[in-house]
C-alpha cells in the first residue's frame, strides 16, 4: 500500500496534470495501452483499498481514481481524444506566447458532458437501441430503472438485454458506460 503522503501529494498535483500524465502514457499511446494503464492504476488506487488508512488517504485515493477514470473516458473515445489533444495544443500555443503560466486548467480537463449535452436531445433509449423483442423487454426495464436512479438494477437488466442481442455493439457500449458510472460510486457496484 502507498504511504499517506504519496496519495496526498498525488491528489494535490492532479490539477496540473494532463490525462496522459495521470495515466502515465505517451500522447501517441494506442487505446489498448491507455486501457491497460487505467486498469493498472485503478487497481492501485481504488478508494476501497484504503478505507483503513484514514479519511485523508481515502479521499486522496478517491480523487486520483476519479481523475484516472475521467482521463480514461476521454482518451479511449477517438472523438473526445481529438478534441482534448486540440485543446492541449491550443493551450501550449497560448502559453508559448506569454511568459505567465496558464490561467486556467481548461486544456488539462475535458468536459465531455458539454459534448454529450448537444447530443442529448437525439439520445436514443435502450429500448430504441435493442433490436429484438426479448432484448427490448429487458432494455425497457433498464430504461425505467435508470430513470429512477437505480443504476445497479438497470445494469443487471442491461446485461440480460445484451445477452439477448449479442451483436448489438451500441447496447454493449451503453452497458460499458453504465458500469463505468457505477465504478465512480464505490460500494454500489463491487
Same domain, 22 and 90: yes
pTM beyond 0.85: the answer is no
What is the model's pLDDT at position 24?
92
Reported as a single tens digit per residue, the pLDDT across 143-174 is 999 888 888 999 999 999 999 999 999 999 88
Q: How far is CA 64 from CA 33, 44, 82, 141, in A?
A: 19, 10, 23, 34
Same domain, 24 and 86: yes
Same domain, 170 and 133: yes
Which residue range is the domain that position 149 belongs to? 124-183
Same domain, 90 and 134: no
Is the separation of the CB atoms in 106 and 87 below 8 Å? yes
Task: Determine the average pLDDT of the residues in 170-183.
Answer: 85
Reported as a single tens digit per residue, the pLDDT across 79-116 is 889 988 988 888 888 777 654 444 444 446 766 555 44
Considering the domain boundaries, does residue 115 fall inside one?
Answer: no
Neighbouring residues of 63: CB distance < 8 A, sequence distance ≥ 6:
11, 14
The conformation of residue 188, written as its DSSP 8-state character, comes to: S
Tell me how many domains the chain contains. 2
Same domain, 88 and 141: no
Amino acid at each position: 500500500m502507498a504511504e499517506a503522503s504519496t496519495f496526498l501529494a498525488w491528489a494535490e498535483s492532479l490539477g496540473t496534470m494532463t490525462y496522459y500524465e495521470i495515466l502515465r502514457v505517451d500522447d501517441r499511446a494506442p487505446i489498448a495501452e491507455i486501457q491497460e494503464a487505467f486498469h493498472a492504476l485503478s487497481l492501485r488506487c481504488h478508494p476501497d483499498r484504503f478505507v483503513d488508512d484514514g479519511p485523508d488517504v481515502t479521499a486522496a485515493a478517491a480523487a486520483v481514481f476519479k481523475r484516472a477514470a475521467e482521463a480514461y473516458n476521454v482518451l479511449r473515445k477517438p472523438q473526445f481524444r481529438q478534441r482534448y489533444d486540440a485543446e492541449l495544443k491550443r493551450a501550449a500555443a497560448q502559453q508559448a506566447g506569454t511568459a505567465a503560466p496558464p490561467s486556467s486548467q481548461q486544456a488539462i480537463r475535458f468536459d465531455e458532458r458539454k459534448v454529450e449535452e448537444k447530443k442529448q436531445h437525439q439520445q436514443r433509449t435502450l429500448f430504441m437501441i435493442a433490436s429484438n423483442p426479448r432484448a427490448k423487454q429487458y432494455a425497457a426495464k433498464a430504461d425505467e430503472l435508470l430513470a429512477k436512479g437505480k443504476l445497479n438494477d438497470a445494469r443487471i437488466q442491461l446485461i440480460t438485454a445484451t445477452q439477448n442481442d449479442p451483436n448489438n455493439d451500441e447496447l454493449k457500449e451503453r452497458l460499458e458506460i453504465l458500469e463505468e458510472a457505477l465504478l465512480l460510486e464505490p460500494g454500489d457496484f463491487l
